[in-house]
Amino acid sequence: MANTRKPIKRKKINRRVVRQTRETTKLDTHFIALHEAFIAARRAGFSKEMAFWIMQEPNALPDWIANTKSDAIIPRIDPDDEDDD
């Protein structure tokens, strides 16, 4: 007797590729924190312009976000520090 069933097509398994991430620098951390603070200000009801100017004023951010301590969310970047590139 002949096989009358249709062949079963097996689904292809998509394997995920794990991408290597590089370590974040102080500058990366600084701008990520500023972006998150901007988004939070927008969610709180500030206009885009007001949220932008709040991010520009360092005294407007809480001490636990921007200060000179080592445990601050936004690290202080020394403006006189130059890279040896």
pLDDT of residue 46: 92
Residue 13 counted as domain residue: no
pLDDT in tens, 60-83: 766 666 666 666 666 666 667 666
Question: Which of 13-17, 20-24, 35-39, 63-67 shows the lowest mean pLDDT across its residues?
Answer: 63-67
Residue 52 counted as domain residue: yes
Question: Which of 5-9, 35-39, 54-58, 70-74 shows the lowest mean pLDDT across its residues?
Answer: 70-74
Going from the C-alpha of 39 to that of each of 45, 66, 71, 73, 75, the distances in angstroms are 10, 16, 22, 16, 19
Residue 37 counted as domain residue: yes
- Tell me the C-alpha distance between 12 and 31, whole Å: 41
Residue 65 counted as domain residue: yes
Q: Domain range spanning residue 56?
A: 26-77
Q: What is the number of domains present in the chain?
A: 1
